[in-house]
């Protein structure tokens, strides 16, 4: 998987982050919102009405959020471009898949970051193998339990690579 597929492309997403997550009034959010509901700042086209002034208006949490490309993958690859705005019955499943794929894409991003290390062959092979396995879990509609398990193992592997940091 290339780095570009692990970066958000909001033009190909159905504003999944603005629907899926809950947030509460805090330093990061100016308003509260329950999970699986549209943010009141979304317009009828699915765009954020305050996108250009997020931080000024108290939405730092939105400004720094990164889905690692999960939004477009779920919207386009898994739901064929359908949106929860057009069909609200999709909300629970789209939100669940978005949460799960975001976790897996974050793991892929961390594994991809390891490519800049001059890893010994055995570690590099393992890094590539983990990335393939994590990517397969996206396609396989992995459960939360499967994602928890692979996340633990990948983080353990990544920690083991710390001995190579600074050796380039």
Residue ranges binding ligand SF4 (CB under 6 A): 18, 39, 41-42, 48, 50, 59, 62
DSSP summary character for residue 78: I
Residue the block writes with tokens 């990061």: 28
- Record the tokens describing residue 152, joined without a space: 């633990």
Give CA–CA dist 8/62, Å, rounded.
Answer: 13
Give CA–CA dist 147/130, Å, rounded.
Answer: 13
Q: Which is nearer to ligand SF4, 54 or 161 (CB)?
A: 54
Q: Which is nearer to ligand SF4, 71 or 114 (CB)?
A: 71
Helices (H), the chain: 17-20, 60-63, 70-72, 91-113, 121-139, 144-160
Q: Which is nearer to ligand SF4, 56 or 148 (CB)?
A: 56
Three-state DSSP at 44 gives coil
Shortest distance (Å) from residue 118 CB to ligand SF4 = 39
Shortest distance (Å) from residue 98 CB to ligand SF4 = 13
Shortest distance (Å) from residue 32 CB to ligand SF4 = 11
Q: Which is nearer to ligand SF4, 59 or 130 (CB)?
A: 59
Q: Which is nearer to ligand SF4, 95 or 131 (CB)?
A: 95
- Plot region of 61 (φ>0 → left; ψ -120 to 50 → alpha; else → beta): alpha
Give CA–CA dist 144/163, Å, rounded.
Answer: 30
């Amino acid at each position: 998987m290339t780095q570009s597929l692990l970066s958000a492309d909001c033009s190909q997403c159905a504003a999944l982050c603005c629907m899926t997550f809950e947030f509460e009034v805090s330093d990061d959010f100016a308003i509260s919102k329950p999970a699986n509901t549209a943010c009141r700042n979304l317009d009828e086209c699915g765009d954020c009405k305050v996108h250009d002034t997020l931080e000024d208006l108290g939405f730092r949490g939105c400004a720094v959020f990164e889905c690692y490309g999960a939004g477009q993958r779920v919207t386009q690859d898994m739901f064929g471009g359908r949106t929860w705005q057009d069909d609200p019955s999709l909300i629970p499943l789209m939100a669940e898949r978005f949460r799960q794929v975001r976790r897996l894409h974050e793991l892929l991003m961390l594994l991809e970051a390891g490519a800049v290390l001059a890893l010994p062959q055995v570690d590099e092979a393992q890094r590539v193998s983990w990335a393939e396995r994590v990517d397969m879990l996206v396609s396989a509609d992995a459960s939360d339990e499967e994602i928890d398990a692979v996340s633990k193992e990948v983080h353990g592997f990544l920690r083991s690579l710390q001995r190579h940091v600074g050796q380039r």
